[in-house]
Amino acid sequence: MSKPVVLIAEELSPATIDALGPDFEIRNCNGADRAELLPAIADVDAILVRSATKVDAEALAAASKLKVVARAGVGLDNVDVKAATERGVMVVNAPTSNIVSAAELAVALMLAAARNVSPAHAALKDGVWARSKYSGIELYEKTAAIVGLGRIGVLVAQRLSAFGMKVIAYDPYVQAGRAAQMGVRLVDLDTLMAEADFISVHLPKTPETVGLIGADQFAKAKKELVLVNAARGGIVDEAALYDALKEGRIAAAGLDVFAKEPCTDSPLFTLDNVVATPHLGASTEEAQEKAGIAVAKSVRLALAGELVPDAVNVQGGVIAEDVRPGIPLTEKLGRVFTALAGEVAQQIDVEVRGEITEYDVKVLELAALKGVFADIVEDQVSYVNAPLLAAERGTAVRLVAESESPDHRNLITIRGTLADGSQVSVSGTLVGIHQRERLVEVNGFDVDIELTEHLAFFRYEDRPGMVGTLGGILGDAGVNIAGMQVARDAKGGQALVALSVDSAIPAETLAKVEAEIKAESVRAADLTD
């Protein structure tokens, strides 16, 4: 019996081969060379890549036997996960391989910026002994602010605490008690900007976080502020950062990431008070070794048909065919739930009703949690680490399966209790021969709209003219309504408008709608990847 074939498409740590062991036929190719990759991938069972190899729809179509794509690192920008899922190909990565390296680089950039290491080094290389010019500041007894208290943010907080710093953080999805256990005080973003001597950014890049720190935030900052971004480019507005540094409104910056990469020609590079590196967060021998070993273990598990902890698009093991269509639906419901809640729930119930409860539906609980945390944490969320993320945030989770479903053949509901005791719920189902995804309930209101990429929900006191006002404002903003459902609990009581729209609704437009219809609640959900 022939051995499964594993294609290594880029240079990986030698430990990767050792971790794979003798049970596989190992082949090599230059994955960055398209002409070499496509024929090489044709008959392999697994491919291991880093960032240079694009495993896109074309490559996947050429790989008739492919079962696993393994990315020896965290990011998956070069892997078409959607196309892989459609072809039944598991995608795995190494989500924790670089967290120590990334945290250490953030601290290194902070120290380098605080002590003017980069310009002092450049001056010395030019023959200038500028000892007095490049006087710096200490970290000791200063206030360090962490923007995003995920796994890397926590590591940075721990390391900065060891410098004798006071640590504060902004993360609306972390409970205050959890932060307090780490010796971190949670604050809002404005307070963070005003109090911080040093800021380190550790957020995922989402539509909500792009440009999060811009001119308005810098206007609140101390002149002594040193800002570090070793997370994702674009979270810090680079033009606003340049102006703040150039005009002396903040002191310095350390940057490892940029809005567009590779970046070799930025105005920021002309400033002496900027230290910059070319996205080196994961570029350590240790991180690469950890990544190689992690994905090798995942490939072994996947090709043996076992549960894969770091799978990002499927649950390991057998999933009933009747349950599979509910997985993406449930994940989307989880993302809508988070948009509606605006915080991490203390209790989440995943309720599955109908015929599919004849099968094991545990994967739907995992899919729900994956969706709930997808837009909350900076790291890749998988079906295995999602329960861990819930546990870390003190969220109790329960799966409820009932065969009775009065109104729908199958119904999936995510119901959560928030810190103030209020509840949030969202329900969905699949309809027709093509199993179309429909949103059928939001916070107790019956609706029926397609689960599109852009959704919005407005709750207000039921009275005439509100729908027209809403439509007019969106029309003026150039936002096209694809679908609309109006529901109410009683005539003259509470009403809910649920919308699917063709594009994201700008924040200022949402605020205008809220003011004009006197909405009690306005929420938007972005389900784009």
Q: How would DSSP label each residue in 250-280?
A: S-EEEES--SSSS----GGGG-TTEEE-SS-
Q: What is the DSSP letter of 491?
A: T
Beta bridge mates, 485: 498
372 CB contacts (<8 Å, ≥6 apart)? 334, 335, 337, 338, 345, 348, 386, 390, 414
AA identity, residue 159: R
Residue 398 neighbours by CB under 8 Å, 6+ apart = 347, 348, 349, 350
477 token code pair? 């903003």
Q: Single out the catalytic residue among 25, 86, 261, 285.
A: 261
Tell me the C-alpha distance between 356 and 359, whole Å. 6
Identify whether 289 is a catalytic site residue. Answer: no
CB 275 within 8 A of CB 228: no
Per the residue annotation, which of 279, 415, 454, 523 is the catalytic one? 279
Tokens 């910056």 correspond to what residue?
Answer: 253
Question: Please, what sign has the CA dihedral across residues 330, 332, 337, 338?
Answer: positive
Distance between CA atoms of residues 209 and 173, nearest Å: 13
Rounded Cα gap, residues 407 and 483, in angstroms: 22
CA nearest 419: which of 448, 396, 392?
A: 396
Q: What is the 3-state secondary structure (H, E, C) of 62-79?
A: HCCCCCEEEECCCCCCCE
The answer to whether 279 is a known catalytic residue is: yes
Classified as helix, coil or strand, 318 is coil
CA atoms of 397 and 390, how far apart (whole Å): 8
Q: How far is CA 199 from the centre of its chain?
A: 20
Contact at 8 Å (CB) between 104 and 230? no
404: left (phi over 0), alpha (psi -120 to 50) or beta: beta
Of 71, 202, 232, 459, catalytic: 232
Question: Which residues have a catalytic role annotated?
Answer: 232, 261, 279
